[in-house]
C-alpha cells in the first residue's frame, strides 16, 4: 500500500504474516508427531533420499539453484487465492510427514527432529517466505471484496519480490547445510547473520532517508481497507 509516497508493510500486514507463520509451524509440529504406517514412512523416506542423493553431489550454487527453483514454484502458486492456500497446507503436511517418517525409522523422537530442523536458519526463512505469500494472497481477496484490489496490488508486487529474495537466501543456506553436514550449520548461521546485519543496516538507512516504512508511522495514515 502507498502512504505519503512510501510503500508500507503496515501492522495489519505484519500481524497476518505472523499469524500465518504461527499456524504453519503449529501444523508442521502436529503432523510431525502423528505416526505413519511403515509402508508410508518407507515410501516418503525413499523419495526424500532420492532427492537428496541428486543434490548432494552437485556444486554448491547448482544445489542452491535447484532448491530455489522448487521452493519458488511452491511460493508462486501460494499467491493464487484459494488454490494456493490448499497447496500451502498440503506442503506443510507433507514436510511434517517427512519428519514423522524419519522419527519412525531412526527411533529418534519427532520433537528432537523438529528442534534439529529449526536449528537450521533456512527453515525459518523458508517458512516465513511461505507465510508472506499466503498472507498477501488473503489480503488480495479481502481487498477485492472491499473494492481496493488496485491499491493492494502494489503491496502484492513488493511482497512477491520479498518472497523471492527470502527463498534465494533460504536456498543458499540450505545448500550450505546439506553440502557441509555438521559444519554446515555453523557456516549457514554465519551467512544468515551476515545477511541479517546487511539487511538491517540497509533498512535503517532507508528509514533515515524516508524511503521505507514497515509497521511504523507515516506522514499520512493509510486509508482503511473497507468502506465505512
pLDDT reported for residue 210:
67
Confidence of residue 228 (pLDDT cuts 50, 70, 90): very low
Tell me if 8 is assigned to some domain.
yes
Specify the 3-state DSSP secondary structure of 107.
coil
Residue 120 has pLDDT above 70, yes or no: yes
* 3-state SS assignment for residue 112: helix
DSSP codes, 125-171: HHHHHHHHHHHHHHHHHHHHHTT-HHHHHHHHHHHHHHHHHHHHHHH
Answer for the pair 162, 132: CB distance below 8 angstroms, yes or no: yes
Highest mean pLDDT among 7-11, 21-25, 53-57, 153-157: 21-25
In a domain, residue 167? The reply is yes
Tell me which residue range forms the domain holding 125. Answer: 2-212
- Least confident span in 19-28, 29-38, 64-73, 206-215: 206-215
What is the residue-wise DSSP string for 23-84?
A: HHHHHHHHHHTS---HHHHHHHHHHHHHHHHHHHTS-HHHHHHHHHHHHHHHHHHHTSTTHH
Query: 224: pLDDT confidence band, cut at 50, 70 and 90?
Result: low
* Residue 227 falls inside a structural domain: no
Does 223 reside within a domain? Answer: no
Sign of CA dihedral 82, 87, 88, 89: positive
What is the predicted pLDDT for the residue at 222?
Answer: 47
150-206 pLDDT, tens digit per residue, is 889 999 999 999 999 999 999 999 999 988 877 887 888 899 889 888 888 887 888
For residues 158 and 9, what is the distance between their CA atoms, to the nearest angstrom?
9
> What pLDDT does residue 211 have?
60
pLDDT-wise least confident of 48-52, 70-74, 90-94, 116-120 = 48-52
Rounded to an integer, the average pLDDT of 140-159 is: 92
Query: How far, in whole angstroms, is CA 157 from its chain's centroid?
Result: 16
Any domain includes 102:
yes
* The total number of structural domains that make up the chain: 1
20 is a domain residue:
yes
**Residue 218 is assigned to a structural domain of this protein:** no
Closest CA to 93 of 30, 50, 20, 16: 30
Indicate whether 132 belongs to any domain.
Answer: yes
Amino acid at each position: 500500500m502507498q502512504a505519503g509516497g512510501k510503500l508500507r508493510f503496515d501492522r495489519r500486514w505484519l500481524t497476518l504474516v505472523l499469524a500465518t507463520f504461527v499456524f504453519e509451524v503449529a501444523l508442521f509440529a502436529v503432523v510431525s508427531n502423528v505416526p505413519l504406517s511403515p509402508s508410508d514412512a518407507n515410501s516418503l523416506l525413499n523419495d526424500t533420499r532420492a532427492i537428496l542423493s541428486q543434490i548432494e553431489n552437485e556444486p554448491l550454487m547448482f544445489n542452491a539453484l535447484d532448491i530455489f527453483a522448487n521452493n519458488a514454484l511452491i511460493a508462486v502458486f501460494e499467491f493464487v487465492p484459494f488454490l494456493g492456500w490448499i497447496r500451502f497446507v498440503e506442503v506443510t503436511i507433507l514436510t511434517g510427514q517427512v519428519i514423522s517418517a524419519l522419527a519412525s525409522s531412526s527411533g529418534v523422537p519427532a520433537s528432537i527432529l523438529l528442534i534439529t530442523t529449526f536449528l537450521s536458519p533456512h527453515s525459518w526463512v523458508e517458512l516465513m517466505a511461505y507465510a508472506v505469500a499466503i498472507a498477501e494472497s488473503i489480503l488480495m481477496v479481502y481487498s477485492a471484496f472491499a473494492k481496493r484490489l488496485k491499491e493492494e496490488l502494489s503491496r502484492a508486487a513488493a511482497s512477491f519480490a520479498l518472497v523471492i529474495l527470502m527463498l534465494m537466501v533460504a536456498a543458499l543456506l540450505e545448500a550450505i547445510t546439506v553440502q557441509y553436514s555438521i559444519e554446515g550449520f555453523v557456516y549457514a548461521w554465519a551467512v544468515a547473520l551476515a545477511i541479517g546485519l546487511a539487511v538491517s543496516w540497509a533498512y535503517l538507512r532507508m528509514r533515515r532517508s524516508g524511503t521505507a516504512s514497515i509497521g511504523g508511522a507515516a506522514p499520512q495514515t493509510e486509508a482503511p481497507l473497507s468502506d465505512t
